[in-house]
């Protein structure tokens, strides 16, 4: 959780790359990976690509912190389209321009496309979910889980819920949203939960799986963040703290047979 390469998005990034390699969509020595992200998916890609010796180009919005941008470069990513971004292009437009001009640039790209790639969900259904299920063996009497998560792409909430239900647990899937946002209706306001409610309806979220939506405001998120740090010694990130706040608010639902599951997505230093 405290290392940029260990978030849930790093698991998705590694899975998508491994699958593309197995399917021959990435050819080592020929292919360059491309994506638009300066978030946890970008860190996952940068680290996995460094490990696999595959070049990676990222279009990172200029609003991302200088520290994040510098770290991505330290991990081996090339940040592309800086001039275009300065002139007002979006990261999506930067990626689209590179894909359209690949031949002239002498590149063969593989676009990981986390917002449209079904492998983003499969990563969590096939890997993150079973990883959690292994940990749940510590509670042999467990039958029901309240799974508290938020949605950017919607991939982990969908994939993990499917994996838990597939393993026989009754799952109450709870979507955490920033106060004022309604991702299902496409309503977004500016908020501090970077990574969720990102301005588009979560494209791979299976809404049929969601039982409840709970909104969290900034003060509740900050309170949960401080509580978690003082009680457990981990400075969790903003979406993690929002989920921890909701988890605390429904604590009375728990029993020997019913536990609350949530995710510490990343650390809080990025967001200070």
Ligand X SMILES: Cc1ncc(COP(=O)(O)O)c(C=O)c1O
Residues contacting 114, CB < 8 A, separation 6+: 9, 12, 16, 35, 37, 41, 120, 153, 155
Q: Please give the DSSP secondary-structure letter assigned to residue 270.
A: G
Q: Which is nearer to ligand X, 97 or 188 (CB)?
A: 188
| Shortest separation between residue 153's beta carbon and ligand X, angstroms | 3
Q: What angle do CA 19, 24, 26 make, to 5 degrees?
A: 75
Considering the complex, state which of residue 102 and residue 248 has its C-beta at the smaller distance from ligand X: 248
Asked if 153 is part of the footprint of ligand X (rule: CB under 6 A), the reply reads yes
Residue 52 near residue 36, CB atoms below 8 Å = no
Considering only 4, 38, 91, 152, the residue that binds ligand X (CB under 6 A) is: 152
Minimum CB–partner distance for residue 150 and ligand X (Å): 5
Which of 44, 129, 154, 178 touches ligand X (CB under 6 A)?
154
- Enumerate the H helices of the chain as residue ranges: 8-22, 40-52, 66-74, 82-86, 91-100, 102-105, 118-123, 129-135, 155-166, 218-232, 238-249
> Binder to ligand X among 43, 169, 235, 265 (CB under 6 A)?
265
Q: Which of 145, 195, 246, 268 binds ligand X (CB under 6 A)?
A: 195
Q: What is the largest CA-CA distance in the chain?
A: 62
Closest CA to 196 of 214, 178, 208: 178
CB nearer to ligand X: pick between 201 and 258: 201
Least distance from ligand X to the Cβ atom of residue 264, Å: 10
Of 31 and 164, the one with the shorter C-beta distance to ligand X is 164
Enumerate binding residues for ligand X (CB under 6 A): 9, 39-41, 150-156, 195-196, 202, 237, 239, 265-266
């Amino acid at each position: 959780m405290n290392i940029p390469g260990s978030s849930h998005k790093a698991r998705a990034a590694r899975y998508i790359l491994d699958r593309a390699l197995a399917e021959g969509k990435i050819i080592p020595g020929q292919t360059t990976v491309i994506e638009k992200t300066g978030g946890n998916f970008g860190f996952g890609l940068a680290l996995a690509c460094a490990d696999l010796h595959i070049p990676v180009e990222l279009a990172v919005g200029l609003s991302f912190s200088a520290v994040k941008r510098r770290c991505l470069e330290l991990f081996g990513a090339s940040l592309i389209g800086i001039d275009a971004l300065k002139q007002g292009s979006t990261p999506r437009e930067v990626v689209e321009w590179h894909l359209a001009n690949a031949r002239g640039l002498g590149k063969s790209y593989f676009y990981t496309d986390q917002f449209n790639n079904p492998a983003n969900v499969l990563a969590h259904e096939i890997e993150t979910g079973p990883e959690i299920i292994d940990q749940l063996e510590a509670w042999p009497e467990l039958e029901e889980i309240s799974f508290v998560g938020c949605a950017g792409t919607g991939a982990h909430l969908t994939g993990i819920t499917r994996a838990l239900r597939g393993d026989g647990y009754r799952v109450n899937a709870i979507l955490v949203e920033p106060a004022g946002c309604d991702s299902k209706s496409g309503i977004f306001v500016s908020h501090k939960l970077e990574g969720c409610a990102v301005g588009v309806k979560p494209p791979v979220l299976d809404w049929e799986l969601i039982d409840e939506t709970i909104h969290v405001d900034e003060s509740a998120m900050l309170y949960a963040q401080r509580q978690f740090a003082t009680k457990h010694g981990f400075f969790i990130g903003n979406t993690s703290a929002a989920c921890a706040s909701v988890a605390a608010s429904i604590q009375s639902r728990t029993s020997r047979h019913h536990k609350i599951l949530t995710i510490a997505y990343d650390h809080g230093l990025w967001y200070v």
